[in-house]
Chains A and B, each alone.
Chain A
């Protein structure tokens, strides 16, 4: 078992390395950091422009592969280089932002996966009853909606709740630095509601479809009948034998869905004004910041592959046949 996980881990490490390298090289070819320094008034002298770009390892006159060699040498030591604008190190900025994104992603994934699995099971058990039809229609509509639309709808609903006398929940920003103590933390928790809800909604609609389908496959199976025959109640048989078996295929989808969730998180961060990694990606592509873009790509690849590893472990935990080998 440990050997299996270790082999997967090494495989993932190689993929992360290649994916990040690819992102850096693509970024170096398309982004134009020099443009950030040109056209200023007063103009920057050629010599200092050159020196600035050299210092940031982003001088277009150096061959891409040389820059790549220099960059990868730094990355191995945890140094992602300097941002194109300003004097900040990319790794400092990432330390600031990674937590914001991770909190959002973690909560969104947990609520999305748990909610999706529960609703999927419910839909399969109550097939074609109103609850099932409602959740099916809702997830079809959600899966057909761009993230932007879902965000706006959620915001509109909360505005409406406020007008009906409900609590005020600020739609932008992660926290209010003017508040202190308990007030600061309750405000912060409130601000977490909407973005988490948006991500969770996507998770729920995605997972509930697959969970429902997997559960329907399991419901007609012989082992469930056997479980009932040996005297288990319907509920116990369903949860001990049914849900556990139906979860196995879902776990594989978990790794695949994580990339989608990351894209969703980009919109969520940008539109709710959270300064996370997704927002960093958008801003740094727009400001031609090669170093920052490559660092975000590395962060993303690590997360996707970490979720892949997690799904391997869950797979082994759920399916004894994997463990025995």
Chain B
């Protein structure tokens, strides 16, 4: 077996199967829609539900938690520097007098938004580029695969670090764009593989011979058939982009002050982490919990959509 240059970073593409065929029980003549079937399978998994509940609580905490205290994320309380948690400052104060609780939640808000938006954009780029490459083949395919290979050669972190000076003074939406542009490659490969197999299906051939334009076929027949993969991918990418954003912002390459994100929160707290753990541990724990929940939900969702996928054995 000779490996083509494209195959080096190949990720096993999930088989395109018909999920409804696996356990289709029709109750008393009432057909179950696909959506309800997936929902039912999702609800059957305790870990997925638990993670979903925790994630909802985290969202509520991030957006409503700040109203529980009168401290704002950029207030300074110089009289209580580095005090521990008490009723005034729920989680204590950092070394310049900022309230850890208010600041962490503010950072969490930004990280959650960036994670969600960037994951959506990432998967969209992957879906468009991958399906166009897979469907058309030939020159377009070679170009897209070549771009994917090139982008995989340099770690996204390095390219984003190089590009970061251009972010100074811009809105965080540019960071989202950059995270997506340098993060879609692996999904793009999987989508391309699926598009290549879907394009040989009878219904795609039928549409083609009826004269449906290629882009309409992609939109109407290819993408809906990959919807499950794409939904799972968005979920998994949320965790990945939150971590990537944290890493970049930690070194000042991501979210720029006065904006706050989990990266800047952890970066400010890290030097004190072993001596004043309360400054660091709350944010760190919250971040790990968020990403953990997202990945557990992603797994549960994948199992619900495609029970034959490997992760059901976990």
Mask, A287-313, CB within 8 Å of B = 1, is: 010000100110011001100100110
**Contact yes or no, A312 B154, CB < 8 A:** no
Q: Is A85 close to B, CB under 8 A?
A: no
Q: Is B207 close to A, CB under 8 A?
A: no
Give the total number of A-B pairs whose CB atoms are below 8 A apart. Answer: 155
**Contact yes or no, A282 B251, CB < 8 A:** yes
**Contact yes or no, A300 B155, CB < 8 A:** yes
Cross-chain contact of A297 among B156, B158, B239, B314 (Cβ < 8 A): B158
Binds A, one of B17-25, B72-80, B272-280: B272-280
**Contact yes or no, A263 B157, CB < 8 A:** yes
How many B residues touch A, CB cutoff 8 Å?
Answer: 54
Q: Whole-angstrom distance between the alpha carbons of A50 and B274 in the complex?
A: 46
**Contact yes or no, B8 A260, CB < 8 A:** no
Mask, B250-291, CB within 8 Å of A = 1, is: 111100000000000011001001100100100010011101
**Contact yes or no, A18 B250, CB < 8 A:** no
Cross-chain contact of A31 among B9, B150, B162 (Cβ < 8 A): B162
Mask, A99-134, CB within 8 Å of B = 1, is: 000000000000000000000000000010000000
Residues of B within 8 A of A143 (CB): 295
A152 with B284, Cβ < 8 A, contacts A147-B247, A252-B8 known: yes
Cross-chain contact of B162 among A141, A252, A293 (Cβ < 8 A): A293
**Contact yes or no, A155 B273, CB < 8 A:** yes
**Contact yes or no, B155 A146, CB < 8 A:** no
**Contact yes or no, A144 B1, CB < 8 A:** no
State how many angstroms separate the Cβ of B167 from the closest Cβ of chain A: 9
**Contact yes or no, A304 B155, CB < 8 A:** yes
Q: Whole-angstrom distance between the alpha carbons of A76 and B57 in the complex?
A: 56
State how many angstroms separate the Cβ of A4 from the closest Cβ of chain B: 6
Q: Is B243 close to A, CB under 8 A?
A: yes
**Contact yes or no, B280 A140, CB < 8 A:** no
State how many angstroms separate the Cβ of A158 from the closest Cβ of chain B: 9
How many A residues touch B, CB cutoff 8 Å?
Answer: 66
CB neighbors of B among A124-170 (8 A): 127, 136, 140-141, 143-149, 152, 155-156, 159
Cross-chain contact of A266 among B149, B156, B157, B311 (Cβ < 8 A): B157
Q: Report the nearest A residue to B295, measured CB to CB.
A: A144
Q: Whole-angstrom distance between the alpha carbons of A308 and B3 in the complex?
A: 12
Cross-chain contact of B165 among A31, A171, A270 (Cβ < 8 A): A31
Q: Is B68 close to A, CB under 8 A?
A: no
Q: Is A322 close to B, CB under 8 A?
A: yes
Can you list 11 pairs linking A and B with CB atoms under 8 Å apart? A15-B149, A23-B162, A30-B164, A31-B165, A140-B296, A144-B292, A148-B246, A216-B313, A256-B186, A282-B161, A322-B3
Known contacts A140-B292, A152-B270; 9 further A-B pairs (Cβ under 8 A): A11-B5, A140-B296, A145-B287, A146-B287, A213-B311, A213-B313, A252-B9, A271-B270, A304-B152
Please list the residues of chain A having a beta carbon within 8 angstroms of any beta carbon in chain B.
Answer: 4, 8, 11, 15-16, 18-19, 22-23, 26-27, 29-32, 127, 136, 140-141, 143-149, 152, 155-156, 159, 171, 213, 216-217, 249, 252, 255-256, 259-260, 262-263, 266-267, 270-271, 281-282, 285-286, 288, 293, 296-297, 300-301, 304-305, 308, 311-312, 315, 319, 321-322, 325
